Amino acid sequence: MKQATFTLTANEQIAQDIYCMTLTGDASDVTRSGQFVNLSLPGHYLRRPISVADFTPRGVSLLYKVVGEGTAQMASMSPGTQLDLLTGLGNGFSLPDQSRNILLVGGGIGAAPLYHLTKDLIGLHCQVTIVLGFTSWADCFYLKRFQQLGAQVYVSTVKGDVGTKGFVTDAIRAHNIQADYFYACGPMPMLSALCHSLDYSGEVSLEARMGCGFGICMGCSIETRQGPQRVCKEGPVFRKEELIW
């Protein structure tokens, strides 16, 4: 974990309520896809844990959805704004040691941590299929970005105005997508449905309200087959087999 001041360089709306914030600063502690930063906002006591969509040692890109006062404040910030971040938090996704056939599943803003993961997997010569679930076309983002990385992209929308009508599990069935391993991030009902319906192993990234974000307050502990685990410290990524649904 590192605490550092970052400078906002871009903050653009990319879909309905979805923004991409780019920050430059010392990001040398961000080493794995699926890690998160904990961002201090003026006027709010608790930091905001936000997953890292993309990173280099000199900065991070954060995709976030406006859901409350904190994220609304983030959306109003202009380039040049200085922000206090804790970086390098959480375990991140594990990477396969050989080329494999991988399924990625992102529900809404849950697609964010899969972006850098896709880069990693393509770099390891994995075959990557990604299924992104949204409510409607207005909520869709990053479809082209994932394609440009070399992933096969499928979409589901609840409204049905683009892609398969229904949930990500409907798209997986409709396209008869097969894989050896999966990574997923999104709402709990989606993660639960995936863990139950996919007969191969995988990893999911969880979300929780956090007190500290670095393992000292026990505010985000969940019960797992290994006993209590902190979403912020042992997680946010857990193997399917560790979780109790």
Partner 1 sequence: MVTTNRLAVELGSVRLQNPIIPASGTFGFGYEMAQVYDIDILGSISIKGTTALPRYGNPLPRIAEAPSGLLNAVGLQNPGVDQVISNELPKLRACFHQPIIANVSGFSIQDYVQTCQKMDAEEQVAILEVNISCPNVHGGGLAFGTSPEQAAAVTRAVKAVTHKPVYLKLSPNVTDIVSIARACVDAGADGLTLINTLMGMRIDPRRRQPVLANTTGGLSGPAILPLAIRMVYQVAQACPVPIIGCGGVSTARDVIEMMMAGATAVQVGAANLRRPMACKEIIEQLPAELDRLKIDHISDIIGAALPKS
Q: In angstroms, give the least distance from the CB of 108 to partner 1.
A: 16
Residues making contact with partner 1 (CB under 8 A): 1, 3, 40, 44-47, 86, 208-212, 214-223, 228
Rounded to whole angstroms, the Cα distance separating 108 from 100 reads: 25
Identity of the residue, 1 or 10, whose beta carbon is nearer to partner 1 in the bound complex: 1
Least distance in Å: CB of 231 to partner 1? Answer: 8
CB of 209 to partner 1, least distance (A): 4
- Rounded-to-integer distance, Cα 245 and Cα 107, Å: 18
Angle at 120 between CA 118 and CA 121, to 5 degrees: 65
Closer of 135 and 147 to partner 1 (Cβ): 135
Q: Cβ of residue 99: shortest distance to partner 1, in angstroms?
A: 34
Q: What are the structure tokens assigned to 101, written together?
A: 């056939």
Is residue 59 within 8 A of residue 83, CB to CB? The reply is no
Q: Do residues 23 and 87 make contact, with C-beta atoms less than 8 angstroms apart?
A: no
CA dihedral sign, ordered 221, 224, 228, 230: negative
Would you say 161 or 223 has its CB closer to partner 1?
223
Which is closer to partner 1, CB of 96 or CB of 211? Answer: 211
